[in-house]
Structure 1
């Protein structure tokens, strides 16, 4: 059986692709490096993380992008012996504007090397490529209309793309405005039995989210919506374990079975906050006699029959990382993991201090996704702060405006101490924690997620000691992160809880911190 979500934690907007016996899922990464995470499977049951594609500033520059800006909904396809990746880098999305440059890069292997990105257009986002049987290719996207009083989601566009010259041809044409659910986005196009099938997301990315299908005999339409309604949604049943279901892409296995990869979320309580962010699930797809794709009941199932493929288990990820390298589970915030600020070696990850928690140019945060409601994250830190401007420790992080931080710093006399700080919707909250330390003394730090509660503990010898704090873990959620002012969007929440190693050097003295290991482990509630 397939057990959903197959990609747990912050893994949204999946696009699934098969090349031979290999299946790949690419997901959005927003302000995190490497951009566009890839997972691989031979059987759709077992998935191995391969890391991110866009791993350098040559391929992706995230300097200064807003929270939940950056990479939105990539498109992954294969033609001419090359993987084609199209992606949007969202530089602006608030106050009624969106700056949406789209690019394409190619590689002979999913591991690369990836070519220099070529700009395409900036009219919309959620780009994908469709390669037709006649050898021509087409770029799809949603069209964004900035004009006040207009519907900003202005329909699904298509434009011819020349794979050899990597340029767009002709003019874009609108082929659909979606259904009455509105907010048509995330388009993918498929051809089967002489029909073109347009699969797109609708209803927004929250609890009204869904996926719709329309078809046409002609590439440019008109496209007829499926008379049975949405292909997939959770909007009508808040009791379902998997909520926010939508943003589908389809794949046919080598044995002729069809599956849909889709976005989903697991809230704490009915229509509650989703600390783990938006995740990726798979559903089995059948076809009706008159040629419509169907998911059983049109709702997401937690367990799904696996395809008739040979089992292909993957090696389990070890709970403890000794930092011989920085592996595919790790991400860095807004800048790639370059040796000038982060360097793994046997038994140590050295991180040079970066900007403040509000900084969007050069923060020093190395983090991994929280994947279960109950889990813990632990590290051993060696750090010698000289002033209150030097900080290093462990964080449970959502974005620059929402995080919890257990860290070592120095007081006004230069004496080191352990303390804790929270930021919720941009407001700082100090906690009554002050544990004196010896300079350079190793200290074990731990964060434990217990559903909606976060707890910190530490060990300077003699065992773990819990801080007398029950922190609100739900500030690390999409729902809490969304901010509006007088009805105008200010901040979006599109990511999920990250657990990480964070270092600040606010006086520019060049300080660093050493982390001996990091352990992440899921635990039972």
Structure 2
């Protein structure tokens, strides 16, 4: 069976394509660099993270992008011997992380681009700018060879429907041509987005997401004999959703795409979330699931059981099993490139932030701006992909004053994190403490009391997460683990734990960070990083 989600942890807005016997899924990365995650499978059961294509400043530069902006909803297709990747680079959406306005709550900046490559692993072309009229762009290749760009249309006017339908425009010779047409206004569920278009048996089928990417999310289908419509709605309108089933393990189901297997069967990928018990927050972010669908005699698509709900375990297409090597639990940073599981924030110039060659066998972070910075922040982290996990690292860091910090961080965004860090002040000297940024109506940071540390020795830092419970520990050398007495709230590292007026679309990460707010770029060296998932919860004390 396929065990969902197939892409656990923050992997939203999936777009799937099959090329021969290979399947690829592209997902959103928002403010994390490099842009777009592409996973690979040959059996729809086992997946590996293969590549991130947007690696150059000319393709993606997110310096200054607010939290939850950056790369939204990529669409990956294949035609004419090329992979086509279309994506949105969002520069402003909603409010700042502290709840203040970014200039306007209605005016947004969504820039849509297209890159191509003959190989899924690149190199990918320089981007072609398409438009800025809305987000969630997709590219449809018609069977006559013509191509069309679709996207959600944003309407900023007072009293208007912000999600003002799905627009389409022809793409040819490197640019959009002809008139933009609004082909689908959506339904009463509202928030119509995520368009994908397919052609089957003389019909054009339009798949959209509606209801918002939270608990009311769902997949809507419509069809037309003509490309530009009018589009008639599916008899059930919504073909997949969890909105009426709060008991299901997979919630928030929506934003889908379709793929056809080698023998003609149809599978749907879609985003979902796994809330903590009692329909709590989704600390793992929006994840990707997949399940088979069937075409009825009436020409409409439905789930196999007809219930229109996501499946935790789904039937496979019976392809030959194809497993991939399991990523190591422990990374020793012995190679000159960052391990594939890790990303950093916003900057297309990682050499300013970290190095794996300055001290071989270590990840060296150069102290940069504060944890809340939207520009140059030395933070390298990987996704949390299980509700229960352990993570640890060994750090060498000799701060000279309180503006220099380095350590282990559990991070959602600039307003939601727990940071176990080493610093120095004139009273305690070198010390360890936890800074927590908590979402509430008056943004505040909280600190634990400093714990004195000896100078000149490495320190091992550790975190244990059991659903919403988080504990930190440290040790010197081979000594016993010393547990901090506080229990921290891991549930804030989620979309649902919302600061006022702030959009939240990513997921929890765990990693390492270094700040030097005096501007002297004092470095910290991390000897290793271990991340170990557990299927159960324990009290490490």
Please tell me the TM-score bracket, short chain as reference: over 0.9
Aligned pairs for 1:86-101 (under 5 A) are: 86-94=86-94, 95-101=105-111
CA–CA separation in structure 2 for the residues paired with 1:183 and 1:316 = 39
Q: Does residue 436 of structure 2 align to residue 422 of structure 1?
A: yes
Q: Which residue of 1 aligns with 2:494?
A: 477
- Matched-pair contact (CA < 8 Å) for 1:385–1:414: no
Q: Secondary structure at the match of 1:477?
A: coil
CA–CA separation in structure 1 for the residues paired with 2:46 and 2:342 = 19
Q: Which residue of 2 aligns with 1:361?
A: 375
Q: Does residue 352 of structure 2 align to residue 340 of structure 1?
A: yes
CA–CA separation in structure 1 for the residues paired with 2:352 and 2:456 = 22
CA–CA separation in structure 1 for the residues paired with 2:37 and 2:236 = 34
Q: Which residue of 2 aligns with 1:280?
A: 288
Q: Which residue of 1 aligns with 2:403?
A: 389
- Matched-pair contact (CA < 8 Å) for 1:10–1:277: yes
Q: Does residue 29 of structure 2 align to residue 13 of structure 1?
A: no
CA–CA separation in structure 1 for the residues paired with 2:278 and 2:183 = 36
1:53 Cα deviation after fit = 1.3
Q: Which residue of 2 aligns with 1:311?
A: 321
1:281 Cα deviation after fit = 0.3
Q: Which residue of 1 aligns with 2:393?
A: 379
1:211 Cα deviation after fit = 0.3
Q: Which residue of 2 aligns with 1:131?
A: 141
- Matched-pair contact (CA < 8 Å) for 1:386–1:414: no
Q: Which residue of 2 aligns with 1:488?
A: none
| Structure 2: gaps spanning 5 or more residues | 95-104
Q: Which residue of 2 aligns with 1:432?
A: 448
Aligned pairs for 1:390-469 (under 5 A) are: 390-412=404-426, 415-425=429-439, 427-461=443-477, 462-469=479-486
CA–CA separation in structure 1 for the residues paired with 2:499 and 2:402 = 31
Q: Which residue of 2 aligns with 1:487?
A: none
CA distance change for structure 1 residues 45 and 283 in 2, over 3 Å: closer, same or farther? same
- Matched-pair contact (CA < 8 Å) for 1:140–1:157: yes
Q: Which residue of 1 aligns with 2:98?
A: none
1:110 Cα deviation after fit = 1.0
- Matched-pair contact (CA < 8 Å) for 1:207–1:243: yes
CA–CA separation in structure 2 for the residues paired with 1:235 and 1:265 = 12
CA–CA separation in structure 1 for the residues paired with 2:315 and 2:518 = 56
CA–CA separation in structure 1 for the residues paired with 2:352 and 2:160 = 47
CA–CA separation in structure 2 for the residues paired with 1:337 and 1:463 = 39
1:467 Cα deviation after fit = 0.7
- Matched-pair contact (CA < 8 Å) for 2:415–2:499: no
Aligned pairs for 1:246-265 (under 5 A) are: 246-265=254-273
- Matched-pair contact (CA < 8 Å) for 1:97–1:146: yes
Q: Which residue of 1 aligns with 2:101?
A: none
CA–CA separation in structure 2 for the residues paired with 1:225 and 1:27 = 27
- Matched-pair contact (CA < 8 Å) for 2:70–2:89: yes
1:469 Cα deviation after fit = 1.1
Q: Which residue of 1 aligns with 2:505?
A: 494
| CA deviation vs aligned residue, 1:178-209 (integer Å, no higher than 9, x gap) | 22211110000011111111000000010000
- Matched-pair contact (CA < 8 Å) for 1:103–1:120: yes
Equivalenced residues, count: 517
1:482 Cα deviation after fit = 4.8
- Matched-pair contact (CA < 8 Å) for 2:435–2:448: no
- Matched-pair contact (CA < 8 Å) for 1:125–1:141: yes
1:271 Cα deviation after fit = 3.2
| CA deviation vs aligned residue, 1:24-48 (integer Å, no higher than 9, x gap) | 0000111110111110000000000
CA–CA separation in structure 1 for the residues paired with 2:389 and 2:51 = 22
TM-score by length of 2: 0.94
- Matched-pair contact (CA < 8 Å) for 1:198–1:213: yes
- Matched-pair contact (CA < 8 Å) for 1:156–1:185: yes
1:414 Cα deviation after fit = 8.2
CA distance change for structure 1 residues 97 and 271 in 2, over 3 Å: closer, same or farther? farther
1:337 Cα deviation after fit = 5.9
> Which deviates more, 464-473 or 401-410?
464-473
| CA deviation vs aligned residue, 1:320-347 (integer Å, no higher than 9, x gap) | 0111231221110111462232112442
Aligned pair partner of 2:343 in 319, 331, 342: 331
> Which deviates more, 121-130 or 353-362?
353-362
- Matched-pair contact (CA < 8 Å) for 1:255–1:309: no
- Matched-pair contact (CA < 8 Å) for 2:463–2:472: yes
Q: Does residue 514 of structure 2 align to residue 503 of structure 1?
A: yes
